[in-house]
Amino acid sequence: MGTRSYADVPPTAATIALNAYIFGFGGHSLVTPHATLKHLWWTDHRIQAKITRPFVISKLRGEEREFLDKQLAFGEGLTDDTYMEWILDRAKRLFLILAEIGVPDQIFGCIDDSWDDDDLPVSMENVKNLELAYDNDDELNKKFYETQFVYLLRELRMGAHIDYGPNEHIPMDYVNTLPPAVSLQVWDRISFPGRPDSIFMRRKYALTDKETGQSFRQSFVQDIRQANALRHEHIANVWASYTSEDSGYILSDFVGEHTLSTFIDHRTPMQFMRIPVAQRPALLLEWIHCLSDALAFLHHRGTAHAAIRPSNILIDHNNHIAFADVGALRTFQRGKKPQKTETYDYAAPESQVSKAPIVVPSSPPAAKDELEYERLFDRPIYWQQHPEQQLVPYSAHQPGNLSTLHG
C-alpha cells in the first residue's frame, strides 16, 4: 500500500488560502478563496453565542470554578445573583477581555467592585482601578486598554452615521473583486460580518485639505443629510456613512460595474450581452425613462443635478442604471477627475459663460428696406415720423365706436 503525500490530496479552500498566506499573496491573488481569510469579528451575535457557562468554566482553574455559583460578596443580601449569573448577564465582554490578556481570574475582583460591560470602554487613566495585578502593571493595563476595542464593535446599520475613534475597529471585510470600469476601481467593495453576499460600494473623502488646512467635516455631514433627503431608486443612495481618523466614508448598496461612458466604450459588456438582442433597444429606452424620472424628482424638490454626464451614471451587474450622486452636493464631487471635454460637452449651455462679449457684425439695411427696418428695430423714430399709425390708449376707447382704436 502506497503512502499519500500532500500533492496527492485534492486542495481545499483552507489549504489554498494557507499556501497563499505562506508565500505572501494572501491579499492579492484573485484565485484565493477570500471567504476563508475573513476576520472573525466579535459581533453582538457572536458574543451572545460564544459566552456560555461551559466557556466560562473552561477559562478558570479548579478552585476558581467553585466561586462561580456562590452569591456575590457585595450587596448585603439585596441580591441573590451569583458570579456566573453576573458574567452571563452583565459582563460577557469584560470576561472576554480578561481571558484574552491572560487574567480571567480577575473577573471576581472586578465584579466585587461592580464593574460590568456598561463601564466599557475604560480610559487608559482608569484601567489601573481594575487592579488587574497585585502590583500595578503598566504593560498589562495597556494591553487591556487596547484589547477592549476588539470586543466593543459598533456595527453600521442602514441610515446610520458613526464617528469612530482612533482605537476602534470597524467591522467590515474587503471584497476582492474589481469592476470592469477602471474609473470605479478606486471605490472599494466591502461586506459585513456574517453577510458575505451583501456587497456595498465604499467611497472615501478627505476631511481636511492638506495644503490649506480647511476642514470639510461639517459640509460632509450636511451633504450626507441632504443626500438622504433626496433618495430615489435611480440615484445611488447613501446606505450608511462614517468617519475614521481624518477621512469620511459613505456606503451604497448600488454597486456599479460600469459608468455609462465605459459601458459605451466597452462595446460588449458582459451584463448587456446576456440580454437577447431583441430586448436590448427596450432596455436602452427604459434607461432614458429612469434617468428622466430621477431628474424630475430632483427638480420637483427644487434641486438641480448640475453634473449630468456619462461618467457620473452607473450601471450595475443586473443592468440597473442610476446617477452616482447629485452633482450639486460638492462633497461627492471631490476627488473625481472627469475629462475636460466631457465636462464641456455635457454641461448646461447657460453654465458656459463667455469671457468676452460676443459681437456679431451686421451690415446696414438696404435703402428699400429702411422704412421696414425702422418700424421693426427703431420704433421711436418711426412713430415720430408716422403719428397716424400710433395706437390710442385702451382707456380712450368708447364702446360702439371701433374707429377710436386708431388715430
Coil, helix or strand for 256? strand
Distance from chain centroid for Cα 298: 20
- How far apart (Å, rounded) are the C-alpha atoms in residues 165 and 145? 13
Q: What is the pLDDT of residue 402?
A: 42
What phi, psi does 77 have (nearest 5°)?
A: 80, 0
Place of cell 390710442: 392
- How far apart (Å, rounded) are the C-alpha atoms in residues 166 and 397? 83
Place of cell 481624518: 246
Coil, helix or strand for 240? strand
Residue 201 confidence (pLDDT) above 90:
yes
More confident of the two residues 62 and 230:
230
- How far apart (Å, rounded) are the C-alpha atoms in residues 282 and 292? 15
Average pLDDT over residues 311-332: 94
Domain boundaries, the chain: 44-152, 173-353
Going by pLDDT thresholds of 50, 70 and 90, the confidence category of residue 194 is confident
Residue 395 confidence (pLDDT) above 50:
no
Q: What is the pLDDT of residue 370?
A: 56
The C-alpha cell at 245 is 481618523
Largest Cα–Cα distance of the chain, in whole Å?
127
Residue 405 confidence (pLDDT) above 90:
no
- The CATH T-level fold of domain 173-353 is Transferase(Phosphotransferase); domain 1 (1.10.510)
Q: What is the pLDDT of residue 374?
A: 53
Start-to-end CA distance of the chain, whole Å, equals 126
- How far apart (Å, rounded) are the C-alpha atoms in residues 395 and 135? 105
Residue 250 is inside which H or E element, if any?
A: strand 247-252
Q: What is the pLDDT of residue 8?
A: 46
Going by pLDDT thresholds of 50, 70 and 90, the confidence category of residue 20 is low
Tens-place pLDDT, residues 126-165: 999 999 988 888 999 999 999 999 999 999 999 999 999 9
- How far apart (Å, rounded) are the C-alpha atoms in residues 406 and 396? 10
What predicted TM-score, i.e. pTM, was given to this entire model? 0.74
128: left (phi over 0), alpha (psi -120 to 50) or beta: alpha
Residue closest to 52 by CA, chosen among 12, 92, 19: 92
Instruction: Tell me the one-letter amino acid at 364.
Output: P
Mean pLDDT of the chain: 82
Residue 234 confidence (pLDDT) above 90:
yes
Instruction: Tell me the one-letter amino acid at 256.
Output: G
User: Which residues lie closer than 8 Å to 220 by C-beta, 6 or more apart?
Assistant: 205, 207, 243, 248, 331
